[in-house]
């Protein structure tokens, strides 16, 4: 089909486009996530100078959720960072819906604990195992493919769950049952506007909300991460 001429229009010479490796350009927009003076999470292809005493996790983006870029992950990481100094040697951490394993791995990097992560998605647990290996943390991290029922033990000191409310609610009672008395549970992935009613649901399963962190995502939506105690 012939194109109609536009009066007054001029067709210029073609503008050369720089030769670039376009499949790799997405990496230019990723950067290290500085969680605190104690912890940085970065992709392997991003360099970041660590401050004295600062630890790092190297997590590359992939099919499994959790690099620290989303605000819900960042909020959960901030809680883990704040709680880590109080975790005793050998304390047990449970990462529900572990994804890339980043939450469990953060706890392992920051404290002398042991962690279990479970996820229904085999691709996620494969990624978590690989990330643990690449960060030298495999020896203290058990990864389970399947539901919570496949996780052994009911004496976790810290539980972290970064998932949407509709995914979390069916697991609440079982997660509480796996937590020792006085243990802490972190619930991220919650929209702030959902939290008022959710607090009542938490109380019904024996949890008290003792802290909340909030952050806006790029779209302006506000997210919350609740710290609770059994």
Considering its fold, how many domains does the chain have in total?
1
In a domain, 159, yes or no: yes
In a domain, 217, yes or no: yes
H-helix segments, the chain: 71-83, 102-110, 122-134, 165-168, 172-177, 195-204
In a domain, 40, yes or no: no
Bridge-partner residues for 117, per DSSP?
A: 95, 143
pLDDT tier at 205, thresholds 50, 70, 90:
very high
In a domain, 219, yes or no: yes
In a domain, 14, yes or no: no
Query: Which helix (H) or strand (E) covers residue 186, if one does?
Result: strand 179-191
Average pLDDT, the chain: 89
Contact assessment for residue 38 and residue 54, using Cβ atoms and an 8 Å cutoff? yes
List the CATH number of the domain containing 89.
Answer: 3.40.50.150
pTM of the model: 0.86
pLDDT at 65: 80
In a domain, 36, yes or no: no
DSSP 85-114: GGPPTT-EEEEET-TTSHHHHHHHHHSS-E
pLDDT at 28: 52
In a domain, 58, yes or no: no
- Secondary structure class of 127 (helix, strand, coil): helix
Burial (CB count <10 Å: 0-12, 13-18, 19+), residue 139: exposed
In a domain, 31, yes or no: no
Chain-centroid distance of CA 4 in Å reads 53
Range of the domain at 175: 64-229
pLDDT at 10: 45
Cα separation values, 198 from 7, 34, 172, 212, 223, Å: 63, 29, 11, 13, 13
């Amino acid at each position: 089909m012939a194109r109609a001429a536009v009066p007054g229009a001029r067709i210029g010479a073609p503008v050369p486009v720089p030769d670039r490796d376009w499949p790799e350009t997405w990496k230019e927009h990723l950067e290290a996530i500085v969680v605190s003076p104690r912890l940085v999470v970065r992709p392997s292809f991003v360099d970041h100078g660590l401050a004295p005493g600062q630890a790092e996790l190297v997590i590359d983006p992939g099919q499994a959720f959790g690099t620290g870029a989303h605000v819900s992950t960042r909020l959960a990481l901030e809680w883990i960072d704040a709680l880590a100094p109080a975790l005793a040697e050998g304390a047990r951490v449970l990462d529900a819906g572990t994804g890339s394993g980043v939450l469990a791995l953060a706890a392992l990097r920051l404290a002398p604990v042991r962690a279990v992560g479970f996820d229904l998605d085999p691709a996620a647990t494969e990624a978590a195992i690989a990330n643990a290996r690449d960060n030298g943390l495999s020896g203290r991290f058990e990864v389970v493919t399947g539901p919570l029922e496949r996780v052994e033990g009911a004496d976790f000191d810290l539980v972290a769950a970064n998932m949407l409310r509709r995914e979390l609610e069916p697991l609440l009672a079982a997660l509480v049952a796996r937590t020792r008395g006085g243990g802490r549970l972190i619930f991220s992935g919650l929209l702030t506007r959902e939290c008022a009613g959710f607090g009542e649901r938490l109380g019904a399963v024996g949890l008290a909300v003792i802290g909340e962190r909030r952050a806006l995502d790029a779209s302006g939506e506000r997210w919350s991460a609740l710290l609770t105690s059994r």
